[in-house]
Amino acid sequence: MSALGAAAHEDDISGLGVLSEVPTEPSPLAGYTVAVTADRRHAQLTTSLERRGARVLSAPALRIVPLADDHEALSATLACLEQSVAITVVTTGVGFRHWLDAADGWGVGESLRESLGSSRIIVRGPKARGAVRAAGLAEEWCPASESIYEVLERLLEEDLSGVRVAVQLHGEPIHDVVAALRASGAVVIPVPLYRWVLPDDTGPLRRMIETATARQLDAITFTSAPAVAGMLSFADGLGVGEALRGALAEDVIAFCVGPVTAGPLRACGIPTVQPDRSRLGSLLHCVAEQLPERRRRTVHVGPHTLELRGHAVVLDGRLVELPPSPMGVLRALARQPGRVYRPEELLGGLKAPGAASPHAVEMAVTRLRALLGDAVVVQTVVKRGYRLAC
């Protein structure tokens, strides 16, 4: 789902089911709904997930505001020039480029490049390394893990007493890193190059949170820790923070690009799934591989093979998208295939507003049978209820 088209896709979520006409093997993410919280890379993530078959909710949790005109960034830069720094820690490529561009605007660009060139430059990952090299500078070291904490460990192996260290921040203060360096005796100059704020239009984010708390979302992707913290804070402001945390802990899978991004979720006791490498491509591969592995369930119903996905089923190789209420009833029946469920026991699976009667269950079952194209899949046991024909 695109950020501006969220309402249209809400209609898709609650609309009529569609039986695919082409009996081909469904795409790996077909039938699943995935939210994208990234700002800068949301278009790339959305396109890649949609190519894999996912229904995408694009809901940027934050946007980056460059600090080119901010007095804190200027003061930190002047501090680096007034007395040269011995070590420069570059955490992100985009942040480093912002720094040099801002310095050019302040008229100290060449001086800053000369000062940085005379320091030992430690970069956090390949993107930061690429930005450093593009500026005509050279890094001394880059950790394989791309973790700021491995950079910290490397620096703490040295005697930093009195050593001036410039740390380019990457949208969040990383207080623990700065504090550890200062505790070792280093003179640390934090350089804030951009900050995070809520997007101008928070509607898509609000709708995504509502979808997640309704347990109609299969996964959310995160590419930065500030985006995680921003989403949780925004949900708290809406009064649904606990409901969102509960959904993430139980039904909605949180895919994070790396351990730093996952930090705010771990602090809440929320499990996360991360790729082996902190890369966007690795994250996409992880979602395509792990989401079906963790969410789908296959049952044999009479002569049919029925695979339950997020908002759809694969019936004998055909993808059938289902509205929330029929899908909820089917999931309830599939908890114990073959068991007879009373209509009252299936009410919890209904998603339609005000659907709180056995008649509503009957209507959902009728619709489910019609969409599956085989009334025998769901059997009626007279005066008792319904069951899958297992």
Those residues with Cβ within 8 angstroms of residue 184's Cβ, 6 or more apart along the chain or in another chain: 155, 156, 160, 161
Residue 290: inside a domain, yes or no?
Answer: no
As averages over each run of 10 residues, the pLDDT of the chain (390 residues) reads: 31 34 75 94 93 96 74 92 96 91 94 97 95 97 90 97 93 80 97 85 97 95 92 97 97 93 94 93 96 93 92 94 92 93 85 66 93 88 92
Whether residue 174 sits in one domain with residue 80: yes
Q: Extract the tokens encoding 323.
A: 């509205």
How many angstroms separate the CA atoms of 29 and 49, rounded?
A: 8
pLDDT at 211: 96
Phi-psi region of 338 (alpha: psi -120 to 50; beta: other; left: phi over 0): left
Those residues with Cβ within 8 angstroms of residue 227's Cβ, 6 or more apart along the chain or in another chain: 37, 38, 39, 60, 61, 62, 196, 261
Whether residue 46 sits in one domain with residue 7: yes
Q: Extract the tokens encoding 152.
A: 């910290």
The owner of tokens 């055909």 is 318
Whether residue 178 sits in one domain with residue 95: yes
Q: Extract the tokens encoding 184.
A: 């070792």
Tell which of 175, 196, 217 closes a domain. Answer: 196
Exposure on the CB side of residue 191, measured as CA atoms within 13 A:
31
Question: Strand 18-19 vs strand 318-321: parallel, antiparallel, or unpaired?
Answer: antiparallel
pLDDT at 13: 26
What CATH number has the domain bearing residue 362? 1.10.10.10
Whether residue 167 sits in one domain with residue 20: no
How many angstroms separate the CA atoms of 82 and 98, rounded?
A: 20
How many angstroms separate the CA atoms of 306 and 334, rounded?
A: 10
Burial of 388 (0-12, 13-18, 19+ CB in 10 A): buried
pLDDT at 9: 28
Whether residue 231 sits in one domain with residue 191: no
Tell which of 213, 240, 273 closes a domain. Answer: 273
pLDDT at 279: 87
Domain count, the chain: 3
pLDDT at 354: 52
pLDDT at 22: 43
Whether residue 103 sits in one domain with residue 54: no
Residue 366: inside a domain, yes or no?
Answer: yes
Q: Which residues of 127-184 form beta strands (DSSP E)?
A: 164-168
Residue 288: inside a domain, yes or no?
Answer: no
Tell which of 196, 226, 259 closes a domain. Answer: 196
pLDDT at 172: 60
| Structural domain span for residue 37 | 3-61+200-273
pLDDT at 355: 54
pLDDT at 176: 87
Smallest CA-to-CA distance from 277 within 94, 147, 93 is with 147
Whether residue 158 sits in one domain with residue 122: yes
Residue 145: inside a domain, yes or no?
Answer: yes
Whether residue 213 sits in one domain with residue 182: no
What CATH number has the domain bearing residue 140? 3.40.50.10090
99, 193 contact by CB (below 8 A): yes
